[in-house]
Structure 1
Amino acid sequence: MGTSKSFSDVKHSMIPNWGNLSSSLTTNCNSSELTTPKLKSIMGNFVSALSGANTGGRGGSRAGARSSIRTAKKIGGVLSQFISSGNNIRETLAYTGLTDINNRSVGDVINHLIEYCSDSAASIDDNAAKEATRQLLEELIGQAESVDEVETLLEQTFSSNSLEDIIVKYFAYYINELLSKWFYENLIKSKGENDCNNLFGQIKNFIFERVNDIHRRNPLQNVDWSSDEADRLVKNIQQDVLTVFE
């Protein structure tokens, strides 16, 4: 499972409701099809581990959901630049510091943007935020075969999605990744790869199904992405995503 590695720096005593979250995952880590109430319970325990949607969503939890805010702001800045440039990918990449794009592959572009948007991966939270960036970018532009196709795919994305839609999707990837990094590695030792993949696959599907129902209330047009207002709006969106599962 590509999102699977956990890390040893989680201090369980610092995380509220850790026991309930761990128990709900362990109990349901099998080959069965999980019911909606069971999936709701798992995700409710996850939000509780972040000290609730309000605290966690606004970066106040010691357990996580801080790096995701910083990264989402960088992603928002890049994509906002793309929109404001008239969908000019070369101008957008220059904005991020990538000016020499001759002979650059799409993979090179993705790796550059991951590093531009992400902090150094010094913690579980940093790693989850960085991996979520990779997954988002691979969804958006991973099928392109050239820089020109990157431009075309992003243009198509914004023909039917708002910038807020993309930031919501980023946070969906992030919370799925954080939960996986907390538990997958230990669960696979006791439950096996197939059961773990079954569990986390269902959780991921549940997360993405539920975030589709979020009411979009944070217009991101003309936002200064280095401002306090951008910080407030991004925190609003992460809080909205976590509230769906609370």
Structure 2
Amino acid sequence: MSAAPGEPALRLDRVSRTYPGGRAPALNGIDLEVPRARFLAVLGRSGSGKSTLLRCAAGLERPTGGAVHLGGVPLAGLRATALTRLRRDRIGFVFQELNLVDSLTVLQNTALPLLLAGAGEGEATRARALRVLEEVGLADRAAEPPGRLSGGQRQRVAIARALITEPDIIFADEPTGALDPVTAEGVLALLRRAVDAHGHTVVMVTHDPVAAGHADEAIVLDGGRIVRRLERPSAGQVLGALRTVAA
């Protein structure tokens, strides 16, 4: 299932999401288009809907209204198996919890999406994983378990794993939330490079105005709606927008 030529990497049309027992919708009529090779930051206070937006956009949850298109493909029309295949082949994930497997080596963790797709543990898979690890500066740690790495190094393994399938889009959930400023800067530089050098699209949920300052565009959510859009934002502009929402 390939992306349709000329289509944006991601499009949300009037997307809503209401949870059972919820007093208000978590998402309330979101319209959003993310072009290819674009870095989008999604911000908002706790409960604003930013994590729900990411999960619906990535096909991890079904919206209760509206439509999500990935590369022109409507997710609502896909059966569970096809949706799983699309997420495996065309989406990279960088979770806040990382979800690395401590019983596997750094190289095996990086290659895991290929192994799950049936690529096998041959030389081609190993070489591809090593190339990606070289790009994130961890080729020399390939044989070690992730438990021996620092928090920033583990985050870079998660980014390498997200990159290995050469996905259309990478979803990153608070990728710098647990990192010190210097380490966070290195992780953000890797995501920026994924866009600029390789043409990936990155959608990053963050609470950090400094992190959002690396993006091409930032959107601020409140009450499940997009209330601010900032083009080429500075950290100061993002902080000002967040303060306005919180007031």
If the length of structure 1 is used for normalisation, what is the TM-score?
0.28
Higher RCO, 1 or 2 (CA under 8 Å, sep at least 6)? 1
| Higher strand residue share | 2
| Higher helix residue share | 1
If the length of structure 2 is used for normalisation, what is the TM-score?
0.28
